[in-house]
Structure 1
Amino acid sequence: MANISQARGALLEEAILFLLEKVGYETIDQHSSLLDDSLRVGSSGLDVRGRGAWHQIDALASFRSSPAFMYPLRLMVEAKCYQASRPVGIEVARNSVGVLKDISENYFTMHSRGGISSQAPRFNYHAAIFSTSGYTSGAVAYAVAHQIFLIQYENVQVIQPLINAIMDFDEDCITNYGKGALSEVREIYRSALHDRAYPLTTPRSVTEVGHELIESSIIEAVRNIRGSYFGMLQGRWPLHLLTENELPASAFLTDIVRCRITGYESGNWKFTPLNVSENSDNWFELQFSLPEDIAKMVRDNFGDREAVANIKQQHFSYIDLSGVIGGIRRNIRLELDQNWIARYISSLDEVRN
């Protein structure tokens, strides 16, 4: 049976899929042109074939451009929209690891003219967990060990109106918590986001109040996030970088941009361009949040040459940012003072105390 927490998680997952599309991903659902024999429309949503079983994965995205020497990339998205005092626990990470392992081992057979056959993966699957309330230390350690990416939105101002709107989705918004309730929540939101007519069904699990909330404040809040970018800190640690407005193309005339970090006093963390005034057309603020345990891992591994991957980076830490800037898909390197991570951790302690 579904519950209100799961319904909120489903709404957050749909919002994240929408923001992923700004980066270059395509949502895979029952309306998608990407359906193949590794996918099926199940009784409660999208199913993905694993080595041992079919798995219901309602939030799945495919990257539109496959990098050279890699099978097509698919990302399994799981989102948790809990109260601020409730971090995501290790059980969520364990479930993601199990599903990811099974679907990653769904091989297909290739036959050669000589009668020799071999097996190869069809897709390169990855998994990411998104949280509005952080993670327990156990969840972080387990997820990192099994290469599950963690994104958190604590104290990210630009996404807070969306989180607040989703938290307003309460028991008055659903009358029936049956098997199809979450699918209906997703379909209403997804249809509204993509300007599709939602087919009315009976019986309906979502009330008129819930329907109106999804199509008003929850839709409006995610559409107000006009800038969505993903970055890899030190080549290893993912960040979802958000802005109220798209990044200005004029600020990225080169592929390397020096940045500074702000937010030490407020806890609202932002990357801003170095030596650029707020009144300039080249000004931007990339908002983010990094789990404290991951921040400490970054600090402890900063000098690792494998993580740095480039001798130039002895002097700067860096984020490789990917997204659409000025209508063109760009890969940008943001260079940062290497001491920022220590200040970030210190400031987290001060805010908490």
Structure 2
Amino acid sequence: MHLYRLFHGKLGAEDSVRSVSSVEKTITMARRAVISSGGLKGYLLEEVVASLISKAGYRLLTDPQDDPHDLSLMGNGLQVRGRGGYHQADVLGELSWAPAFGNPIRLFIEAKWRGEGRAKVGIPEVRHAVGILQDVNQVLVTVGPRTGAMKVGSNSEDITSGGRCYCYTYRYALCSTLGFTSGAQAYALAHQVALLDLSHEDYDELRGAIDAVGDSLQGYIEGLDDDGPVDSPTTRNSLLRRIRATLRQELWHVPFEDYDHRFLSMLGPLITATREISELFVGVSATGFVILFKADHPDRMIRHMRADADPETSVHFRTHEDGSSRWEIRVSSDRAEPCKLFFVLPDAMLRALDDKQESGPRAAMNLKEQHFSRVTVYRITDEKSMICSLKLNRDWLANARLQLESRNRRKPPS
């Protein structure tokens, strides 16, 4: 109503000044919000996750020179060429190993920061990831343009390749600090989008560091108002580039052009929290879904992977009040002391994975045997490449089934 009266000349001079001031303040706040607190914390989480899985053979792509065919640099950062357009890639990496009978793999990492009381990541975010994958994975160049006239009598069998004769398969990993809705889980499973749930207590310290550092950076950015127009896109992009470059250089130990030492003290607590985790292990279940493992003793896990024979495992879980299940894989071999790997699989995902649609202990046992009979874990460094299969201990599984049957026989009839 104030704006209507202002633009139609029905406000007094004092009201006009007050209304104009209010509108300008609203516009300024909206411009500032382009780098929102949640968005900034999501950027930090993306960088941290990328560095923690680097030893799974994940190499950052940051420059079009890494691949002039697919990559381009624009005002808002690195872009990947798709069939219908370019797509921003804040964190894009390439796996240093290629699967048999498939293309080399590149992985987008996107993180959604959700504070307490906020909604879980839903279908729209997963649908966005699927749309990008469908577009970038349709860019194929196998036959180049003809450079001259074909000889008389030649046909399509005589054409040789003049373009790029190979392509990459792009994948997407979506991280969340508050989990995913059941619809998002089902949609992601159907379209092979990896969901990395960082909501459980194993990541409390890391989330706390991101929360504090994000607030500190946000306060710094808002405080720059006195020095110039912070709300211009160029300035915002420059700030984000410098924050990312500073964090990347400290975590990856390689130089980045936009490194800015002024951000180092603010990023310090997050760098420390990331280094304390050391690394996260990336595994693939027997049925093909990606799992992010946090080890209680990473050094022991590495020694198990170096053993002459693949280590054996037992699988355990407990259900939380929010319906999520915190899983635990206990790893043992003759090479090192036992260690534990922790991860989360929400119930909706378990139901989608359970072909028999059973419930209760028997269903959990079947899930363990079907999906965790063999989990492949990758660790690729300059010194040594290791691909290890964590094999479910059959003696443990048989004993667990016997115990389950024994409990069922002792139960009184209902």
Report the counterpart of residue 244 of structure 2 in structure 1.
Answer: 186
- Where does 1:1-353 land on structure 2 (aligned, <5 Å)? 1-30=34-63, 34-85=66-117, 86-111=119-144, 114-115=158-159, 122-157=167-202, 159-168=203-212, 169-170=214-215, 171-175=218-222, 176=230, 178=233, 179-180=236-237, 181-196=239-254, 211-214=264-267, 216-243=268-295, 244-246=297-299, 247-250=301-304, 252-261=307-316, 263=318, 269-273=327-331, 281-300=336-355, 317-323=373-379, 327-335=384-392, 337=397
Q: Work out whether residues 315 and 327 of structure 2, in 8 Å CA contact, stay in contact via their aligned partners in 1.
A: no
CA-to-aligned-CA distance 1:31-83 (integer Å, 9 cap, x gap): x8623221012212111001111111111110112223222111111111211
Q: 1:197 to 1:76 in 2, by over 3 A?
A: closer
CA displacement at 1:236 relative to structure 2: 2.5
Distance in 1 of aligned mates of 2:371 and 2:69: 49
Measure, in 2, the Cα distance between the counterparts of 1:314 and 1:45: 42
**Does structure 2 conserve the Cα–Cα contact (< 8 Å) formed by 1:260 and 1:274?**
no
**Residue 319 (structure 1) shift:** 2.3
Deviations 1:109-139 (A, max 9, x none): 3258813679976111111111111011121
Report deviation, 1:238: 1.5
For 1:328 and 1:120, the matched residues in 2 are separated by 27
Structure 1 residue 212: deviation in Å? 1.9
Q: CA deviation at 1:268?
A: 5.2
Structure 1 letter corresponding to 2:180: Y
The number of residues matched between the two structures is: 321
1:37 aligned counterpart, secondary structure: coil
The CA distance in 2 between the partners of 1:164 and 1:239, in whole Å, is 23
What is the identity percentage for the equivalent residue pairs of Structure 1 and Structure 2? 26
SS in structure 1 at match of 2:35: coil
For structure 2, list consecutive stretches of 5 or more residues without a partner in the other structure.
1-33, 145-155, 223-229, 359-368, 405-414
- Of the structure 1 ranges 246-255 and 35-44, higher mean CA displacement relative to structure 2 is found in 246-255
Larger radius of gyration: 2
Contact 2:44/2:210 (8 A) holds in 1:
yes
Query: Which TM-score applies when normalising by structure 1?
Result: 0.78
Q: Secondary structure at the match of 1:294?
A: helix
1:140, 1:294 within 8 Å by CA — same for their partners in 2? Answer: yes
Report which of the two has the higher share of strand: 1
Coordinate RMSD, CA, aligned: 3.5
Contact map agreement 1:66 1:73 (CA 8 A) in 2 = yes
Query: What amino acid is aligned across from residue 249 of structure 1 in structure 2?
Result: R
